[in-house]
Structure 1
Amino acid sequence: MDVREVPGVGAKTADRLAELDDPEQALSEGDVAAIARAPGISDGRAARIARAAIRHRHGDDGEFLATDRARELYRDALGLLQERAVTDYAARRLETLYPSASESRVAEVRGFAERAMGREPDPDVLEALAGVEPLEAPGDVRVRDRCLATSNAEAYSAARDAVPEMSVELVDDARGLAELARGYSTVVALDERFAGVEVEGDVRVEPRALDDPERIVPERTLAFFARNRGPLRAAAAVAREAGLDAPLEPDALDDALAELNDDGTVAGDEELRRLTDAVDDLDAAVSMAESVANDRLRAAIEDRDVTVEGADLLSLVERGAGVDSLLERELADEYAAAVDAARDHLVDALDLADHTDIARRAFADDPTFPVEHDERAVSRLREELTAARDRRATARKRDLAADLADLREPAHELVDAGLELDVELAVARFAADFDCTMPTFEGRGIAIEGGRSPLLDVPFEEVEPVDYGIEGVALLSGVNSGGKTSTLDLVGLVVVLGQMGLPVPAESARLERFEALHYQAKSQGTLDAGAFEATLREFGDLVVGSDRRLVLVDELESITEPGASAVIIAGILEALAEGDSTAVFVSHLAAEIRAECTIDVTVDGIEAVGLEDGELVVNRSPRKDHLARSTPELIVEKLARGGDAEDGAFYEALLAKFDGGESR
């Protein structure tokens, strides 16, 4: 699939998607996780792109939901699914599921949903999923101890693009390399002409270094795994708990991550820890070594009686000598012992067995009091330790990064598998929570048995099951608050879910393949002339053409006067009956509408079987070919049966006006 063929994908987005390893495959499969790995593409944007790509692949015009109420019903259904997703990713991924007129798309999702319904939503798996999220590529990696060097402007530009984490320097000759080597622990020269040049410091000539940037910047790989440590470990736990066929062994991933600190440095390397501590503690250790020497020398002076004869004192003064000369003459051994003690303390405190010579130079042999360190020697020691630390760190980073690099793509696959599992489990939980079944698609019309709407404002287990079937056009009558609108919602919801390819909340459901759903919600009061005309135009457009539509209309009579409404609705039903539409109109004017119709229109009824403590007792499943009695009729009937002889005749006469509520 060509990226630019997908509706809504402009040039900038196409350029971003082009940076993926296989953008065509990601779009073809509607792979939200892969699409979201493109730079600047959020999960939400990825879901929209994936949905557009899916529609494009199936030749779907995306116009199944033809009215605001139909779209609202879809959003409600989607919300029920998303509430059962653990991860934000799964909630976004579920947005790629939508009701479609494309048979191939519905079949594709049905296959997915049937597999998902076989999943068991294990609590341990759901708990582990809470930590899984799409992996991020860290963009804040900076390497300051190494640099790239080249004398070629073209190579300079290529290096800056390939390795933005490191400084890239232009040099003319070996002298330039030498200057860089004094400021960096390692210099990687890209020019082959520098091969054989001897420069003090760690200078490496690697003309092909840019072919594998992660080898010279292992921090890139390590930062990726350090940044994503939590999601990776969570994904490994999901794979273990769910028994997923993982692309890598979860325990092996955990072991590899254990070698990495949170900041991307290598964990568990005692030699690196020793060198790091030595650099960090050097100044404190030098200061303490000075104290050791001075304390020891002071004690030696206090314990000795030093006698200076007059001639010697005069000679020392004439030569301008001070206490240093006195120490050298009278306390040479004690001073040497004090300095040795300082040197030993410095070596032992920082564990500098392999840097003993340079460490001991930190304290000179020339006597002085108080004893002081040689700053140049300490600086040199610091440089040596820092370079050793950085070389060790880089070597260990390279080794660990080499091991982890092979796990990077499988790690993505592992996390993607966990996220997709969450999508499946959301469908499985939806199906289990609402006692769903997969509908069948055959014939004309709709037949629902044991349907229960999860959209009602009561606990689902308290929802009464409804049986209802429709073929052609029908009027649905019934008492106020008897469940007409909820039945209409149930029909719409079952069709929406069925044409999403998902299970429906019913014991069984047989559906027609519709090309569009038109659901006209109940109007809030009589419409003015302009709004009334616009509504009629909508129905005028609706009855034109031969599309197999499902039309659900709730109390259209409220848009104008009852007499005119009956005539208008009758005309609409006649026009729909001539086409391929299936329609249900909820109305309190069923009898009047039927009287105006020139066709034999079906009237179904949600029957109230009586009043109990002032509350309606209702059979929620509509009776076929039955005009339901109204609430006023039920009240009059109750009064007629319970009244005394004096007023009973009045109520009987009123009840007769209703014609007994018989089917007609």
Structure 2
Amino acid sequence: MEFESIPGVGAKTADALAELDDPETALQQGDVLTLMDAPGVSEGRAAAIARGAIRKRHDDPGGLLATEQARDLYESVLALLQERAVTTYAEKRLETLYPATTQSRIEEVRASVEAALKREPTPELREALANVAPLESPSGLRVRERCLATTDAERYAAAREAIPELSAEVVDDGHDIEELARSYATVIVLDETFAGSDFTGDVRVLPDALESPGDVVPERLLAFFAENRERLLAAARVHEESGLEPPLDLDALTDGLARVDEDGTIVGDEELERLTTAVDDLDAAVGTAESVANDHLRAAIKERDVTIEGQDFLSLVEQGARVDSLLSRELDDEFDAALEKARNYLTESLALTDHESELADHVFSGEPTFPVSRRDDAVSRLNTELTSARDRRSAELKADLADDLAALKTPAEELVRNALELDVELAIAAFARDFDCTMPEFVGDATGAEGDDDADATPGFEIEGGRSPILDVEFAAVEPVDYSVDGVTLLSGVNSGGKTSLLDLVGLIVIAAQMGLPVPAERVQLSRFTELHYYAKSQGTLDAGAFESTLRDFGDLVAGADGRLVLVDELESITEPGASAKIIAGILEALDRQGATAVFVSHLAREIRDAAGVDVAVDGIEAVGLVDGELKVDRSPVKDHLARSTPELIVEKLADDADDADFYDSLLEKF
């Protein structure tokens, strides 16, 4: 696939996509999660790329949202969906839903939505989703007890790139390798020429190590699971709460995660814990053992009377003996006992094995002295032994755990993917339930294109029990509206009667339907439109330049209006009423010739109808009357009815209430 042929993808993004393992499959499936793995591609950017790839796959030119007001309505629908998502991923994934103009894309989404509507967004499920997020690849991992060694400069460079977690060293011969083995617990030699050589320490000749870095650095896989522990556990809980079939054994995953700490350290192994504690506590334990020995000698000296004959004293002094030597004959047994206590304490406090205890015995040995002091060389040897044993044990356990977890990595990724996609479905389900939605029925392409389902159906829409979710009132308080239109229609009605809200509802339903979503109504039939042109009410009379620009926009519109839905709110406000009526009449004539579907809200419906050279339908939102100064309105338009205006209703009320109604009756006759 030519990545730059995807709408919105340039050369830099195409290069980033090329670094993915299977970018074509990800693009074909609109797989936002995989696209996010491309360098520099954020969640939002991945959603935009996926949307472009979907359009290309369905050969969808897009463009339904032809005006700013139409785009605002789409943003409103999208916001209502995103508000019901728990995860940031789902919010971005929902952005791949766009109002399509091709039947194949609409049907594709409708199929997935049908499944989503069966979901139940329970509080427990939403709580579990709160901790689910796309998995992260650990960065900056360093393993310091192992290194790579090679005599070849090119292999050295390859080693640094393939296994950056380990130090890599260039060596000349076996002697250099021996030196490295004194500094590292394990040395991995990459040159086959050293196979069969006898080295001191843990030296492994692995010429193929760069081809399977996971075997050399099991910490890489462990860090993945450790880094994503909470996400994985949350995704497992989502599967349990929702009844989704997990792609792996959840108990095996939980057990594996329990064996590795947040920083990738193996936990739960008694021998590793013993060795780790021994290394950490060695210096303190040696210091305490010294105190044990010296306390014993100090007490022994205090309790005994030491007598030295004069001749013995003179002989010892002549030999240059120290006071310790003068006392040694008297305290030999106590000194041995003190050293034994020190050794026992060191062995017991660090839980040393027999072999380790033999090394520990050398920490306190030699000629009698007071105070007793450690032998630093022996402490160093013991520390080296314990550290090496700890690192070997840790490496073995990491390798074993990595072997167990390796088979779980791919299904674990699927586990999280399923949970995140479920959040998308739950958002759609919540949207449908919160706004009493139903799936709309498409009755053909508004262009009547050959080969389209119901291509001969009259272009338009029919809404029963529609309620707008974007009004500034509680949705439960919104009055349901019935309305249907085919061809071009004028919508009349009193001020604040709901004409603008009705246009919003029509536009919103068309957009949601062509996104493949359920719509807020009891029943909807509609054509599939190529473009939605929605023009909001002007804020006042336009100057000459702006008026000319607006007319140019409508000139472009009527030049190619086939398959379009046009919604216009009080266009007459752009200029003088007399001129406005003639202009709107001309626009409606052109749209009628094109076979377009259009609804124009206007207070000049009578004048426009009279000025038009074709029959223009006029519908009206009728006010029942005035109650306590407030309009009582039937929000559903009456077909083929010119609704009375607010002034007419007020005059009628005055005529009914006045004792002398001649004046008001004469005014009423003017309407």
> Does TM-score exceed 0.5, indicating one fold?
yes
Instruction: Specify the code of the residue in structure 1 equivalent to 2:54.
Output: I
Q: Tell me if structure 2 keeps the 8 A contact 1:32–1:43.
A: yes
Distance in 2 of aligned mates of 1:480 and 1:115: 42
Distance in 1 of aligned mates of 2:174 and 2:185: 16
Aligned-residue offset at 1:327: 3.3
Instruction: Specify the code of the residue in structure 2 equivalent to 1:171.
Output: V
Q: Give the corresponding residue for 2:14.
A: 14
Structure 2 residues not aligned, in runs of 5+: 444-456
Distance in 2 of aligned mates of 1:99 and 1:41: 24
Q: Tell me if structure 1 keeps the 8 A contact 2:50–2:96.
A: yes
User: Does 2:651 match 1:650?
Assistant: no
Aligned-residue offset at 1:546: 5.2
Q: Give the corresponding residue for 1:168.
A: 168
Distance in 1 of aligned mates of 2:404 and 2:10: 39
User: Does 2:286 match 1:273?
Assistant: no
Q: Tell me if structure 1 keeps the 8 A contact 2:313–2:326.
A: no
Instruction: Specify the code of the residue in structure 1 equivalent to 2:168.
Output: V
Q: Give the corresponding residue for 2:463.
A: 448
Distance in 2 of aligned mates of 1:255 and 1:626: 72
Q: Tell me if structure 1 keeps the 8 A contact 2:623–2:634.
A: yes
Distance in 2 of aligned mates of 1:630 and 1:140: 72
Q: Give the corresponding residue for 1:283.
A: 283
Q: Give the corresponding residue for 1:400.
A: 401
Alignment of 1:374-393 (within 5 A): 374-393=375-394
Instruction: Specify the code of the residue in structure 2 equivalent to 1:25.
Output: T
Q: Give the corresponding residue for 2:447.
A: none
Q: Give the corresponding residue for 2:424.
A: 423
Give CA deviations for 1:156-214 in whole Å, capped at 9, x if unaligned. 11111111111111111101101111111110001111112222211111111111101
Alignment of 1:495-506 (within 5 A): 495-506=510-521
Aligned-residue offset at 1:531: 1.3
Q: Tell me if structure 2 keeps the 8 A contact 1:323–1:369.
A: no
Across the aligned residues of Structure 1 and Structure 2, the Cα RMSD in angstroms comes to 1.1
User: Does 2:364 match 1:349?
Assistant: no
**Per the alignment, in what secondary structure is the counterpart of residue 559 of structure 2?**
coil
Q: Tell me if structure 2 keeps the 8 A contact 1:327–1:335.
A: no
Instruction: Specify the code of the residue in structure 1 equivalent to 2:394.
Output: A
**Per the alignment, in what secondary structure is the counterpart of residue 167 of structure 2?**
strand
User: Does 2:566 match 1:565?
Assistant: no
Structure 1 residues not aligned, in runs of 5+: 659-664
Q: Give the corresponding residue for 2:449.
A: none
Q: Give the corresponding residue for 1:635.
A: 650
User: Does 2:361 match 1:360?
Assistant: yes
User: Does 2:48 match 1:42?
Assistant: no
User: Does 2:509 match 1:508?
Assistant: no
Q: Give the corresponding residue for 2:476.
A: 461
User: Does 2:544 match 1:543?
Assistant: no
Aligned-residue offset at 1:365: 2.7
**Per the alignment, in what secondary structure is the counterpart of residue 164 of structure 1?**
coil
Q: Give the corresponding residue for 1:226.
A: 226
CA 1:198 to 1:327, structure 2 compared with 1: closer, same or farther past 3 Å?
farther
Alignment of 1:197-216 (within 5 A): 197-216=197-216
Distance in 2 of aligned mates of 1:90 and 1:629: 48
Instruction: Specify the code of the residue in structure 2 equivalent to 1:54.
Output: I
Give CA deviations for 1:215-244 in whole Å, capped at 9, x if unaligned. 111111111101100110010011111111
Distance in 1 of aligned mates of 2:39 and 2:340: 60
Paired residue for 2:495, among 468, 475, 480? 480
Distance in 2 of aligned mates of 1:653 and 1:298: 127
**Per the alignment, in what secondary structure is the counterpart of residue 256 of structure 1?**
helix
Instruction: Specify the code of the residue in structure 1 equivalent to 2:664.
Output: Y
Aligned-residue offset at 1:14: 2.5
Q: Tell me if structure 1 keeps the 8 A contact 2:150–2:190.
A: yes
Q: Number of matched residues?
A: 656
Instruction: Specify the code of the residue in structure 1 equivalent to 2:231.
Output: P
Q: Tell me if structure 2 keeps the 8 A contact 1:327–1:367.
A: no
Q: Give the corresponding residue for 1:661.
A: none
**Per the alignment, in what secondary structure is the counterpart of residue 86 of structure 2?**
coil
Q: Give the corresponding residue for 2:640.
A: 625
Q: Give the corresponding residue for 1:296.
A: 296
Q: Give the corresponding residue for 1:555.
A: 570
Instruction: Specify the code of the residue in structure 1 equivalent to 2:668.
Output: L
Distance in 1 of aligned mates of 2:643 and 2:513: 29
Q: Tell me if structure 1 keeps the 8 A contact 2:62–2:100.
A: yes
Aligned-residue offset at 1:155: 1.2
Q: Give the corresponding residue for 2:76.
A: 76
Distance in 1 of aligned mates of 2:203 and 2:14: 41
**Per the alignment, in what secondary structure is the counterpart of residue 663 of structure 2?**
helix
Distance in 2 of aligned mates of 1:359 and 1:235: 49
Aligned-residue offset at 1:125: 1.6
Distance in 2 of aligned mates of 1:535 and 1:4: 36
Distance in 2 of aligned mates of 1:601 and 1:207: 85
Distance in 1 of aligned mates of 2:46 and 2:398: 34
Distance in 1 of aligned mates of 2:12 and 2:272: 45
**Per the alignment, in what secondary structure is the counterpart of residue 552 of structure 1?**
strand
Identity of aligned pairs, percent? Answer: 66
Give CA deviations for 1:338-392 in whole Å, capped at 9, x if unaligned. 0010011001000112411111111113111100001111111111111111111
Distance in 2 of aligned mates of 1:255 and 1:470: 62
Aligned-residue offset at 1:276: 0.6
Aligned-residue offset at 1:300: 0.7
Q: Give the corresponding residue for 2:452.
A: none
**Per the alignment, in what secondary structure is the counterpart of residue 144 of structure 1?**
coil
Q: Give the corresponding residue for 1:662.
A: none
Give CA deviations for 1:531-564 in whole Å, capped at 9, x if unaligned. 1111111111111125300000111111111111
Instruction: Specify the code of the residue in structure 1 equivalent to 2:308.
Output: V
Instruction: Specify the code of the residue in structure 1 equivalent to 2:442.
Output: F
Distance in 1 of aligned mates of 2:3 and 2:310: 101
Instruction: Specify the code of the residue in structure 2 equivalent to 1:222.
Output: L
Q: Tell me if structure 1 keeps the 8 A contact 2:149–2:170.
A: yes
Q: Tell me if structure 2 keeps the 8 A contact 1:323–1:368.
A: no
TM-score of the superposition, structure 1-length normalised? 0.97
Instruction: Specify the code of the residue in structure 2 equivalent to 1:458.
Output: V
TM-score of the superposition, structure 2-length normalised? 0.96
Alignment of 1:86-165 (within 5 A): 86-165=86-165
Alignment of 1:254-273 (within 5 A): 254-273=254-273
User: Does 2:596 match 1:574?
Assistant: no
